[in-house]
């Protein structure tokens, strides 16, 4: 039996990976974000539509960050946030949501930030790290 080399406290790894839900209707974009974020030690869950994202959120532990394309095929990012607030008001208050879009501006919403496409890999990862750090302030 192999033992983990990760330090543990009461059976839990000290450096547990942060989980990110990425929602984008373009499969190649999802794959690019997934690879980039996993290379930077994040756990990444993906969804290609708002409905798939809602289904995914029922199956997984709450993510530490949601990266949301503003223009999904089945709904807008703003509509996704409105429905999320109706279905999971606890989640919308606990988990920072960041729009990732090519648009210059997005309407006011519950999103805490905006990352513009096309992305610069280093700036993207730095922004993700910052949004996760801000989102964990005040959490147990």
The reply to whether 57 falls in a domain is yes
Tell me which residue range forms the domain holding 32. 17-136
Number of domains forming the structure of the chain: 1
Neighbours of 104 (CB within 10 A): 7
Neighbours of 35 (CB within 10 A): 11
The reply to whether 9 falls in a domain is no
The reply to whether 102 falls in a domain is yes
The reply to whether 72 falls in a domain is yes
The reply to whether 4 falls in a domain is no
Check residue 111 and give its pLDDT. Answer: 87
The pLDDT tens digits of the residues spanning 68-126 come to: 999 999 999 999 999 999 999 999 889 999 999 988 777 767 789 899 999 999 999 99
Concatenating the DSSP letter of every residue in 58-82 gives: HHSPPPSEEEEESB-SSSBHHHHHH
The reply to whether 112 falls in a domain is yes
Q: Is the pLDDT of residue 8 over 70?
A: no
The reply to whether 92 falls in a domain is yes
The reply to whether 65 falls in a domain is yes
Check residue 95 and give its pLDDT. Answer: 94
Contact 25, 52 (CB under 8 A): no
Q: Where residue 99 sits, what CATH number does that domain have?
A: 3.40.50.2300
Q: What angle do CA 59, 98, 133 make, to 5 degrees?
A: 85
């Amino acid at each position: 039996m192999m033992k983990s080399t990760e330090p543990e406290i009461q059976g839990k790894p000290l450096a547990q990976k942060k989980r990110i839900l990425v929602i984008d209707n373009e499969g190649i974009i999802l794959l690019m974000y997934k690879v980039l974020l996993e290379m930077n030690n994040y756990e990444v869950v993906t969804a290609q539509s708002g409905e798939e994202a809602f289904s995914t959120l029922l199956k997984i532990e709450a993510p530490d960050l949601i990266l949301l394309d503003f223009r999904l095929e089945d709904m807008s990012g703003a509509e996704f946030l409105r429905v999320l607030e109706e279905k999971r008001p606890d989640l919308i208050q606990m988990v920072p949501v960041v729009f990732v879009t090519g648009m210059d501006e997005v309407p006011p919403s519950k999103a805490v930030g905006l990352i513009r496409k096309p992305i610069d890999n280093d700036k993207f990862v730095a922004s993700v790290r910052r949004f996760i750090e801000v989102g964990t302030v005040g959490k147990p």
